[in-house]
Amino acid sequence: MYTDPRYQSTLLDGSLDNAEWFAYDTSMLSPQETTSIRLPSECEPALLERFLKAEAMALWTVRSAQQQDVPPHVYAFLRKHEEDEQKHLAQFEAMIDRQPRVRERLPSVPRQWPVLAVQIYGYESLGLEFARLLLQLRPDLASILDDEEVHVAFFEREIRRLLGGDRAEQARCSAVAWRRKLPTTVNRYLAAAVFDPFRTALAERILIVIERRFTETGLLQIQEKLARNPEIGCG
Ligand SMILES: [Fe+2]
Ligand SMILES: [Fe+2]
């Protein structure tokens, strides 16, 4: 799930930004934990609206990424990725009977590949968790979940590759910065009133799952390691 960076800093709710707590608890959860919370059917329209915006942002981001200096094999993947997101967006537009939105200028994305890779990996991971939620209400949309798993898996491999090279630190620092904004992003995604009874629990689960993913990939250091060696941090 993507977000427009212009809106990143406008809604700040630090209450969920509790890295220590999440880091210690993440090992106890499976990837399906996000979906252990069952959403009622009244949430479906709000979820579809959220997907409409997120798929559009995903499409524009992936288009914009192709204009950056990315490795050739990444460029090849991004072309297929763009097709997938275009297809997803068209599905949501048809489902909620919305005209395609045009955007005059593509969103700006980071120029440096490690930073861009972390950003796309993060938003695809977030999209995957929302796709799991959507599937509860719309099992007919399973192919979207399948595509999101492919997208996350590709960028996860790229992140591991980056972490084995000389730009690992840049990727790690980007991940710390991206993670700091995540509670705000998740709260905004769950802003519709229909999510009121579920928001806190859902946001916590999503943050746990993504933080664990980032930690297992090696992007985030586990908190115990940080406590022993505070110099690892990115400030
Ligand atoms: Fe998508
Ligand atoms: Fe995607």
Task: Kindly give the distance from the C-alpha atom of residue 145 to the centroid of ligand 1, in angstroms, as a whole number.
Answer: 8
- Please indicate, yes or no, if residue 8 is contained in any of the structural domains: no
- Please indicate, yes or no, if residue 135 is contained in any of the structural domains: yes
- Please indicate, yes or no, if residue 10 is contained in any of the structural domains: no
For residue 81, which ligand has an atom nearest its CA? 2
Per-residue pLDDT of the chain (235 residues; tens, 9 = 90+): 676 554 443 333 333 333 333 333 444 445 556 667 889 999 999 999 999 999 999 999 999 999 999 999 999 999 999 999 999 999 999 999 988 777 889 999 999 999 999 999 999 999 999 999 999 999 999 999 999 999 999 999 999 999 999 999 999 999 999 999 999 999 999 999 999 999 999 999 999 999 999 999 999 986 555 555 655 557 5
DSSP 8-state assignment for residue 41: G
Domain span holding position 45: 40-99+110-228
- Please indicate, yes or no, if residue 173 is contained in any of the structural domains: yes
The answer to whether the Cα torsion of 211, 216, 218, 221 is positive or negative is positive
- Please indicate, yes or no, if residue 216 is contained in any of the structural domains: yes
> How many other C-beta atoms lie within 10 A of the C-beta of residue 201?
11
Number of structural domains found in the chain: 1
CATH of the domain at 118: 1.20.1260
pTM: 0.84
**Phi and psi for 76 in degrees, rounded to 5?**
-60, -40
- Please indicate, yes or no, if residue 234 is contained in any of the structural domains: no
- Please indicate, yes or no, if residue 124 is contained in any of the structural domains: yes
Residue 50 and residue 45: Cα distance in Å, rounded? 9
- Please indicate, yes or no, if residue 136 is contained in any of the structural domains: yes
Task: Kindly give the distance from the C-alpha atom of residue 148 to the centroid of ligand 2, in angstroms, as a whole number.
Answer: 5
For residue 89, which ligand has an atom nearest its CA? 1
